[in-house]
Structure 1
Amino acid sequence: MIKSVTYQGQGLSLADGLALEGMAFVQLFATSDHPRQGIQAFKEKKQPDF
């Protein structure tokens, strides 16, 4: 996903690039529990369990 957004974002304006990043962020959180686990582990200063 990172590579895809990076390639798609080349040549976009700042506003369009941020919109693209925001859509990717929402899609990532909607399709996987890993981001939430990573954030929670960071808050608790623990290793994430993926």
Structure 2
Amino acid sequence: MRNIINIQRAGINSLIIYSKTDNTALYKKLSQEKKITVKLIFETHIS
């Protein structure tokens, strides 16, 4: 989470997270975090 906050401070306003598995728990945890304001996109279908 610290890395996402640092990226956010650098001026990035959206972030795509690629994963081979479904990370629903991680998505929920990051979405509920008040300090994170960047748009998070999770992609699981990686070719």
Scaled by the length of structure 2, the TM-score of the pair is: 0.31
Greater length-normalized contact order (CA 8 Å, ≥ 6 residues apart) = 2
Larger Rg: 1
Higher strand share: 2
Scaled by the length of structure 1, the TM-score of the pair is: 0.30
